[in-house]
Chain A
Amino acid sequence: MTQFRRRDFLKSSAAAALAGSSTFGALGRAFAADPVNFFAWSAGVDQVKAHVSAFEAKTGIKVSYGNAPWAQYRDTLVTKFVGKAPLDTLWVSDAWLPEWAEAGWLAPIDGYPQLTKYNSDVDDFSTKSMMWKGKQYGLTYYTDYMAFFYDEGMLQKAGIGAPPKTWDEVVQQSLKIKKAGLSEYPLMLSMARETWLIEFLSSLVFSHGGRFVDDAGAAVMQDKKKGAHEALTWIVNAVQKHKIVSPACVEIGELNGLKSFTSGQHAFAMLGRYRVRTLNDPKQSSIAGRVKQAMMPAGPNGKHATVGWNRFYGLTTAAAKDKAKAADTVKLIEWFGGKADGQYAFQKLMFLDVGSGFATKPLFKDPDIIKAYNQYSDIKMYEAQQKLAQKKDVVSPWFGEWDEVNGTAFQAAVIGKASVEDALKRSADTWNKLRRRA
């Protein structure tokens, strides 16, 4: 080893220091915030990029588009807001609207008639989910609900003619499939603590005829009749007693669950309805062509209800403060959430490419859409289930904080660390405490 030369060391460190300081300087100047900063989760990335390119070509306004995984989206955005990262428009979930509006991060769009004029073409429940304290906070990006899918091929192999109508039938059919050696854990249920979890839990609770919170806003989840008790007991039994759901479900996020289902390891899965496009695409799924949607199974006291959600384009207060920036951002919001060149282009693009649902009423009559959907699923089933979709009942300014505790509590029950009663009590106590404090 040659002798380490002090002079060389000093020389190179001086060079590095200079390089470093000029980088620091450049960084300081970099945030001049000229482009419109658009942040979304990583769905339809290429579709968004393509639409952004068209926007830039048409208007000459530069757009800086970034995305993050949906599973950590809320945490990522909260850190961005708190860290005052440059952000002008973004996708928001209905569940976070009260929290983000109260924190002063989102601005209402009521003052922009070029956006509110689209409300007449949108489903009423969708517009309502973008409103908080009488003000509207965005244009709808997409609306959808939690669906129940089954692998028809696997069911037939097990000698089952029709999909299950109740959660009890799910257990029976799963046991049969398990015994036939076709799948070790026939029901794919994702219980990882991520942004999706509340949607999965809500659909289970609603289909059992229960609720987390009553109309007055008080916690009822711990109630044995009206609450989440039945639903959680069913999940716990499914994992521990019947063993039809993998104990690794607390580790499996929605994406891994999707991958697992598409590789043919399960007979049933609970996934967002829009996933059916991927499930039946031979390029992306090894069970393509066999996946069908069934009505959400009902609990003994429930009906085929499910949870519906709405995601929308929000406008940040930071953007709204600067008139020029606000004008550019509103144009981008209109291009995506409203009409682009006179067409609901983006909504249609997302539906045809990725299968995402929409709340824009005219598109339901679009022949391309009808034809495309019927290639991989049943549009009648789509509408029938959508009619029974319920809005999440836990949307509130403290939703984020409560969601963490609730998710952990449910997980604790599933892995047997806590009893169902204790878990729900913890969740209810936290809800009440947060409600009192607000």
Chain B
Amino acid sequence: MSIRAGALRGVFGAPVSRYDQASAMWLLAPMLGVLLVVAVFPVLYSFWISLFDLRLTRPHRVPFVWFENYQEIFQDELFWQSVWRTTSFTLICVAAIMVIALAMALLLNEEFRGRRFLSAMLLVPWAIPYVANGLMWKWIYDSGYGALNGLLFQLDFIDKYMVWLGDQHKTLWLIANAFIWKEVPLATILVLVGLKSIPADLYSAARVDGANTWRRFVHITLPALRPSFMLVVIYETMMAIRHFDLFFILTEGGPAEASHVLAWHVYVETFRKLSFGTGSALAYIMALVTFFLAFWLIRTLGRKL
């Protein structure tokens, strides 16, 4: 990606023509309009709602409660547990995605017959809807007839069928596995793009200097991939924190809240308990947290460019 940090800072002192300013405004207008409506407005509106105790089971009485909703949320142990679960989920997913994507990108970077076929197949997990992905893994993890059980049983790793999604210790990681599997293709492509932009002469020069494969990898490849890694980390972190679909299809936050993450928490609060006041507060907190996290990530990782 070529948005260079310097270019973003704007050009100090250079005159801007009136025509340029006007045409830029016109060209930007639709985007600004759309984003104001679909992004800015909801955030503001949800803040407003979060100041009320709005419960749809009791639609006639909607008291204004200032910040009580927030108080209630922060005092709820389940909220903090969700935060913890979301954090561990995100960390594991991002780490795993990076490693697997790097491996795959290295493979795809080589020239060999069938490479086009491989990269086309790579897109399959990326293209399938999360819902279908969830269904597929649910069937694989099924404790009665699933493929995972069947495979391990046939290979003699286990002697009887096990419970997978229903096991509180395993369930979050099984969901992570399904998520990682689907996210790896895009990450691979981003890393691949980075790999392709490394000039070949760097490698030849290093070979001349006597560096072996491993040293070339560590001293040339990895540093050059920093921007790509940064992009992958930021993007996948955002995706993992907000992820909902798999949790809905696979476990609905269970069993006994073992997979109760923040996004699920917001959903339950809002659409099961029908408490839109606290639900909005939660959504707002989540939006703020992800916003600051993104900001921080771009700042710290972007500096190392």
Q: Which residues of A contact B (CB under 8 A)?
A: 75, 78-79, 82, 99, 102-104, 184, 192-193, 246-252, 256, 260, 397, 400-401, 404, 408-409, 411-412, 414-415, 417-418
Contact = CB atoms under 8 A, between A and B. Distances in A.
Interface residues on B, range: 20 to 34
Contact of A251 (B56, B160, B165): B165
B125 interface: no
A401 B163 contact: no
Contacts of A251: 143, 163, 165-166, 255
A415 B57 CA distance: 32
Nearest to A413: B256
B57 A248 contact: no
Interface in B265-294: 268, 271-274
Given A248-B163, A250-B254, A411-B255, A102 B143 contact: no
Contacts of A246: 163
B42 interface: no
A246 B143 CA distance: 11
Given A103-B56, A397-B57, A417-B168, A408 B254 contact: yes
21 contacts: A78-B272, A102-B57, A102-B58, A103-B57, A103-B58, A103-B59, A184-B160, A193-B255, A246-B163, A248-B166, A249-B166, A250-B254, A251-B163, A251-B165, A397-B57, A400-B272, A408-B256, A409-B256, A411-B254, A411-B256, A415-B168
Nearest to A75: B272
Interface string B36-62: 000000000000000000001111100
Nearest to A410: B256
Contacts of B245: none
A401 B271 CA distance: 11
B274 A250 contact: no
By secondary structure, the A interface counts as helix
B252 A193 contact: yes
A88 B267 CA distance: 27
Contacts of A250: 166, 254-256
A79 B58 CA distance: 15
Given A251-B255, A411-B256, A417-B168, A99 B163 contact: no
B273 A404 contact: yes
B272 A404 contact: yes
Nearest first, the 6 A-B pairs at minimum CB distance are A251-B166, A412-B256, A411-B256, A248-B163, A250-B255, A103-B57
A419 to B, nearest CB: 13
Given A79-B271, A411-B255, A248 B143 contact: yes
B33 to A, nearest CB: 19
Contacts of B129: none
A99 B258 CA distance: 28
A93 to B, nearest CB: 16
Contacts of B257: 408, 412
Nearest to B162: A248
A61 B58 CA distance: 34
Contacts of A397: 57
Given A192-B254, A247-B166, A251-B143, 6 more contacts: A193-B252, A247-B167, A251-B165, A400-B57, A404-B268, A408-B254
Contact of A104 (B59, B160, B274): B59
A102 B273 CA distance: 14
B90 to A, nearest CB: 22
B302 interface: no
A119 B258 CA distance: 46
Contacts of B166: 247-252
A72 to B, nearest CB: 9
| Interface core residue of B57, B160, B254 (most chain A CB under 10 Å) | B57
